Structure 1
Amino acid sequence: MLEFVSDVDLVWALLVDMSLLCTFMLQHTVMARPVIKGLYNKLGLSIVERSVYNLTASLALQLLIQHWVALRDPVWRINTVEHNACWWMFAISHGYCWATIYLGSLTMDLSELLGIKQVYYYLNGWEDPLTLKSSELQRLISHQRHPSFVSFFFIFWVHPFMSVDRLIMAVIMTLYMVCAWKVDDIDFEYQERQFKRKEIELSHVH
C-alpha cells in the first residue's frame, strides 16, 4: 500500500524504496546467472528453473508494491482532470505500451517465458523447447528475455504526476535495463529479417 510521508521521513522513505528496488533487481540478476542455472542442472531441476524464476520475480514485485513509500512532492504535475485530452493521451499511450509488451511476449513464446512449456515438454518426453529454437533466436533471448525496452522506458518516464520516488524508480530501472539488456547489431538484423519475412508471408495471404 502506498504511504505518503512528511519531509522528516524523506531519507527513511528513500532508503526503503531503494532497498525494494535493489531486492527486485538482485532477484532478476542473481537468478539469471549461469552458476544458478548450472546448479539447477546438477540437481536435475532445470525444467522448473524458469517457473521458479517467475515465481520469485512475482514475489519481489509484490513486496515492492506492498511496501513502497510514496512521496508527496512532485517533480512535475500535469492536470489531467481539467484537460481531458491529456488524460486520453496518457491512457492510450500507456495502454499501447502495455499491449506492445504483452504481444511481444506472445511473439517470443509466452508459455516458454513463463516456464510452462518446459514442464509440459518434459512430461511428454520432449526436448527443452528453448533448444528447438534457432540459434539466432536463442542468442536474442539470452540478450533480452522479454520485450520491450522502449515501452518500459515510456511507462516509467511519461506520466502526468512525476513524484520524487517515481523519478528515482525511473532512473534506476532505466539504468538497470541499459546494463541488463545487451541487444546488439546482430540481434537487430535478425529481428529485421524476421519482420520482413513475416511481411512477405502476410502479403501472400490475400
Structure 2
Amino acid sequence: MPLDSVPWSVALRDRSVLRSLVVDLGLLVLFITQHSLLAWSPVKQALQSLLGVLNRTAYCFTTVLALQILMRCWQPVSGAPCLWAVRDAPWSIWFPLLCFSLHFLCWAIVCSILVIFDYPELLGIKQVYFHCLGLGDPLSHKSPPAQRLLAHLRHPVCLELGVVLWLLPALSLDRLLLAGTLSGYLALAHSLDRQDLAYLCVQFKSKTQLLGETQRDDHKEE
C-alpha cells in the first residue's frame, strides 16, 4: 500500500512514528535549551566569572556539540504520509531545481553575512587575543549603535534559514516538526528594529565600498 494512502489517524497511532517524533522533539529541546540557557543573563554571568574570556568560546563549542547530536541522532519519520510532495511532471523536475537554487542563494547570503558581522568575536576568538594583548572586551571598542544591535540580535540569518527549512519538494512529519519548532524559536528570539536595520545597511554599504576600493587598488598595482 502506498505510504500516502495511509490515513493520518492510523499513522499517528503507529508506535514507530510516535517514537521518532518524541526523539526528534527531545533533540530540538536539547538544542534550544542549550542555545537559550547559556545566553540567559544569570547563567552567562556565572560562566563569565568561571571561564573569563573563554565564555563565548565555550558557548559556541556547546552549540556545535548540541547541533551535532541533533543531526546524528535525528529520526526520520517513514511511517506517515508527507504533508506535501511534488511528484507530477514537469514540477517534479523544476521544483526541486528551484529549491536547490534558492537554498544555494540563501547559503551564499549566510556566508556574505561575514562581510557585516565580526565573526571572530561571535566565535569567541577575538576575546582571547584581546585579553592576551591587554585590550579588554572587544565590545567596549564598538560604537553605541553596534552595541545596541548586538544586544538585540539573536540570529543574523533568520529569513534565510526560514527559506531553507520550509522550501522543500517534500515535507515529511519530522521535517515539519524541525521547521515549525526552529521557526517559532527564531521568531520569538528576534528583536531587531528599524534603527538596527538602518545601522546594518550603513555598515554593509561602507564595507562593500571598502572592498571595491581594495580591488581597484590591486588592479592598479598589477
The alignment's TM-score, normalised by the length of structure 2, stands at 0.80
C-alpha change, 1:47 and 1:11, in structure 2 (3 Å) is same
Aligned-residue Cα RMSD (Å) equals 2.4
**Cα offset for 1:190?**
2.1
**Cα deviation per residue 1:70-103 (whole Å; 9 max; x = unaligned)?**
1123111124997443333222211111121122
Q: Is contact 1:105–1:146 with CA below 8 Å preserved after alignment?
A: no
Aligned to 1:71: 77
Q: Is contact 2:83–2:171 with CA below 8 Å preserved after alignment?
A: yes
Q: Distance in 2 between matches of 1:48 and 1:67?
A: 28
Aligned residue pair count: 200
Q: Is contact 1:27–1:56 with CA below 8 Å preserved after alignment?
A: yes
Partner SS state of residue 77, structure 2: coil
Q: Distance in 2 between matches of 1:105 and 1:46?
A: 25
Q: Is contact 1:97–1:155 with CA below 8 Å preserved after alignment?
A: yes
- Does 2:60 match 1:54? yes
**Cα offset for 1:196?**
5.1
C-alpha change, 1:41 and 1:60, in structure 2 (3 Å) is closer
Q: Distance in 1 between matches of 2:211 and 2:127?
A: 30
Q: Which has the larger radius of gyration?
A: 2
Q: Distance in 2 between matches of 1:181 and 1:99?
A: 21
Seq. identity, %: 34
**Cα deviation per residue 1:16-38 (whole Å; 9 max; x = unaligned)?**
11110010000010000111221
Deviates more, 1:69-78 or 1:14-23: 69-78
**Cα offset for 1:144?**
1.6
C-alpha change, 1:53 and 1:24, in structure 2 (3 Å) is same
Partner SS state of residue 74, structure 1: coil
From 176, 179, 182, the equivalent of 1:170 is 179
- Does 2:121 match 1:115? no
Partner SS state of residue 181, structure 2: helix
Q: Distance in 2 between matches of 1:105 and 1:201?
A: 14
Aligned to 1:10: 17
Q: For structure 1, list consecutive stretches of 5 or more residues without a partner in the other structure.
A: 1-5
The alignment's TM-score, normalised by the length of structure 1, stands at 0.86
Q: Distance in 2 between matches of 1:81 and 1:141?
A: 47
From 132, 139, 150, the equivalent of 1:130 is 139
Aligned to 1:19: 26
Q: Is contact 1:81–1:87 with CA below 8 Å preserved after alignment?
A: no
Q: Counterpart of 1:52 in structure 2: which amino acid? A: A
| Residues 160-199 of structure 1 mapped to structure 2, 5 A cutoff | 160-195=169-204, 197=206
Q: Counterpart of 2:156 in structure 1: which amino acid? A: P
Partner SS state of residue 53, structure 1: helix
Q: Distance in 2 between matches of 1:200 and 1:103?
A: 14
Q: Is contact 2:154–2:189 with CA below 8 Å preserved after alignment?
A: no
Aligned to 1:3: none
Aligned to 1:94: 103
